[in-house]
């Protein structure tokens, strides 16, 4: 490896290490007493926070700046992934809109989970962008290559304010609540690898994502 190649490799590593990743979990808080207008017992995303914490731990081995932001109230009090919460500046939105938290280079992973009878995917991504270089499409392609049952769906505008209102590399993640703890660990390993590869390709001037 010549000097220029060594420099480019080191530069890419430093840029990846100093990257900024924000993980949000807006539906992590359950409610103790179910209101009369809530028929279902499931009042929060059962696996979202656990998966986010596992992913944060794995990513922190390679990336310095990882921020986990969770809701402080149930979605039935106010849903942090809707415009109402943005307008009222809930605690999650105060943290998320603090200067420097989100930049155009930030990777924003809005993390959720879904019950088994809702979808057969292991994981899926919601994008409000259809082009193939949207980060959800890239991550899903890499996960599929590892044999993981993954899909990308297009989100309606003004439905998910966390990804709608932030200008960054952004996607909404949904993981299957039927996954065991070990399954979530393995899935986080693969997603971590996909994210690192995304960043390496992003900063390596010789490659295109």
pLDDT tens column, 142-201? 999 999 999 999 887 778 999 988 888 999 999 999 999 999 999 999 999 999 999 988
Establish if 86 belongs to a structural domain: yes
Domain coverage including residue 173: 20-29+38-203
Minimal CA–CA distance to 174: which of 129, 119, 133?
119
Domain count, the chain: 1
Establish if 195 belongs to a structural domain: yes
Q: For 26-53, what is the mean pLDDT?
A: 80
Establish if 50 belongs to a structural domain: yes
Q: So what's the pLDDT on residue 209?
A: 44
What is the CATH number for 93?
3.40.630.40
Establish if 129 belongs to a structural domain: yes
Contact in structure between 65 and 59 (CB atoms under 8 Å): no
Establish if 58 belongs to a structural domain: yes
Minimal CA–CA distance to 188: which of 43, 49, 65, 46?
49
Instruction: Write the CA distances from 198 to 65, 123, 142, 163, integer angstroms.
Output: 16, 18, 9, 19
- Give the separation between CA 177 and CA 19, rounded to whole angstroms: 29
Establish if 144 belongs to a structural domain: yes
Task: List Cβ neighbours of 154 (8 Å cut-off, separation of 6 or more).
Answer: 126, 127, 128, 130
- Give the separation between CA 11 and CA 26, rounded to whole angstroms: 35
Establish if 136 belongs to a structural domain: yes
């Amino acid at each position: 490896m010549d000097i220029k190649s060594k420099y480019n490799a080191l530069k890419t590593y430093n840029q990846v290490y100093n990257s900024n990743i924000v993980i949000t979990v807006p539906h992590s808080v359950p409610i103790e007493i179910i209101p009369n207008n809530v028929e279902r017992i499931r009042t929060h995303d059962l696996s979202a926070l656990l998966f986010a914490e596992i992913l944060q731990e794995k990513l922190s081995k390679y990336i310095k700046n990882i921020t986990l932001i969770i809701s402080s109230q149930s979605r039935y009090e106010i849903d942090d992934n809707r415009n109402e919460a943005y307008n009222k500046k809930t605690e999650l939105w105060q943290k998320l809109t603090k200067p420097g938290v989100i930049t155009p280079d930030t990777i924003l992973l809005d993390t959720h989970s879904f019950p088994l009878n809702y979808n057969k995917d292991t994981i899926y991504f919601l994008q409000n962008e259809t082009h193939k270089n949207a980060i959800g499409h890239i991550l899903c392609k890499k996960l599929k290559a590892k044999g993981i049952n993954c899909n990308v769906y297009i989100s309606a505008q003004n439905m998910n304010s966390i990804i709608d209102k932030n200008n960054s590399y952004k996607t909404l993640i949904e993981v299957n609540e039927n996954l065991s703890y070990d399954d979530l660990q393995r899935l986080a390993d693969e997603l971590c690898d996909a994210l690192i590869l995304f960043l390496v390709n992003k900063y390596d001037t010789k490659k295109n994502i």
